[in-house]
Structure 1
Amino acid sequence: MPRFHTLMLVIAFLLQTVLPTAAQAQQAPELVLADKSDVRIIVDISGSMKNNDPENLRQPAVRLLAEMLPSGSTAGLWTFGQYVNMLVPHREVTEQWRAVAREKSAQINSVASEPTSARLSRWPVTATTRVVFSKTPTSFC
């Protein structure tokens, strides 16, 4: 019988000390976000997006993101394809900013002439035209 009591004391000790510590270790830390975020939204409108996003889900995604950004944050919206276009200037997020973002999201499409990779593939590479990548800022020869 004394063995039984000893075993029960050991189990009680483990339940009170070890298990709560193990449970606390498994809890995720509390996520703390900054009060004001700075967001740059960049959307691909190159010709390749006709295949990659045929339903043009980029438009509702931008509208959803505009609604989810906290007021007081700063954000801007740009598109790129053949050129870079600023649709919504980088400003403080207000109801007016959201309205402009919703309106300008209708301009997101896949009208850029062709995929960027196709334009780059036509770039003539000769013995005198080469790009050297290194860690220095003057890496173009």
Structure 2
Amino acid sequence: MRFLLALIALIAAPIYAQSSMPPAPYAYTQLDDPVLEAEAAALMETLRCLKCQSQSIADSDAPMAGDMRHQVRSRLLAGESPEEVRDWLTQRYGDYVSYEPTVSSTTWPLFAIPVLLLLIVGAVLLRRLGKRSSGSEGSA
């Protein structure tokens, strides 16, 4: 029984440690400069919360989203452009973090496959419609 309690305490300790940490300074505090805050807000809408996965970091209450909001605001305050901040977050967390992916060696199939499928469907439709119109002309 003692072993079981010790195991539960060992597993639960990291959970309590993470929740007791205070949020990052700019996680829930807007910037004083309205222009920078507008840039930060626009950028945060295009970044995915890695914990929630269906929300942007602007909409998520997850601690990780708060840390990402802090990073966005801090880096903009330091003089980085929104694209530099996006690039840094993409390098750190991967392409999945952005709702606006760029074409790269790993993401090109995401862009090419839909176009290829549309071309195939268009070719099949043209072929079928071409057969119908030539078949109806012959019977008339």
Pair in the same fold by TM > 0.5: no
Q: Which has the higher helix share?
A: 2
Q: Which has the higher strand share?
A: 1
User: Taking CA–CA contacts closer than 8 Å with sequence separation of 6 or more, which of the two structures ends up with the larger relative contact order?
Assistant: 1
TM-score by length of 2: 0.23
TM-score by length of 1: 0.23
